[in-house]
Amino acid sequence: MSRPAAAPLVLTGVDAVRAAVGRELGPAGPVLVGPERVAAFETATGWPAGPPSTCAGPTSGRAVPKLLLLSLVNDVLPRLVDVRGFAMGVNYGTGPVRFPAGLPVGGAVLGSLMITEVADVPGGVQVTFRVTLTAGDTDHQVCVADSLARYLD
């Protein structure tokens, strides 16, 4: 499952970002979500892991917590795209998020993204990145999230 790390796509300025709408990037990873990472997440958040996993593959009998999967969006995104040419970039949150399948503890994810929208906002643009995390051993989608970023002049 090891893949060479590619450099992120560099987009400089609003015209380059607009021109990239619809472009698919990835995959990036793999990102291992082992028992240590799950335990650290549970300790930091007080959030217990999910129910026993029904996924095939390496498992300790539990699924990776969905919010831990969602946090990996911000791990994968900068590996795939690097937006430059603005005074400031701000993670503005998320749009729709879904978890089509579980990931067993000990599994790994690969990430891909598509820029789906660039909208004008006061002082700049808001970009929607649809980030998809897939289980590295099955290619099942485990998290699909619209990550919102604002780039301001």
Domains for the chain: give ranges and CATH numbers.
Answer: 10-152 (3.10.129.10)
Taking only the tens place, the pLDDT of each residue in 14-54 is 999 999 999 999 999 899 999 999 999 999 988 765 554 44
Total-model pTM:
0.87
Q: Please indicate whether residue 59 or residue 140 has the higher confidence score (pLDDT).
A: 140
Nearest to 141 by CA among 37, 27, 44: 27
pLDDT of residue 2: 45
pLDDT of 117 above 60: yes
Taking only the tens place, the pLDDT of each residue in 70-98 is 999 999 999 999 999 999 999 999 999 99
pLDDT of residue 6: 74
pLDDT of residue 55: 45
Distance CA 115, CA 120 (A): 15
- Contact assessment for residue 32 and residue 102, using Cβ atoms and an 8 Å cutoff: no
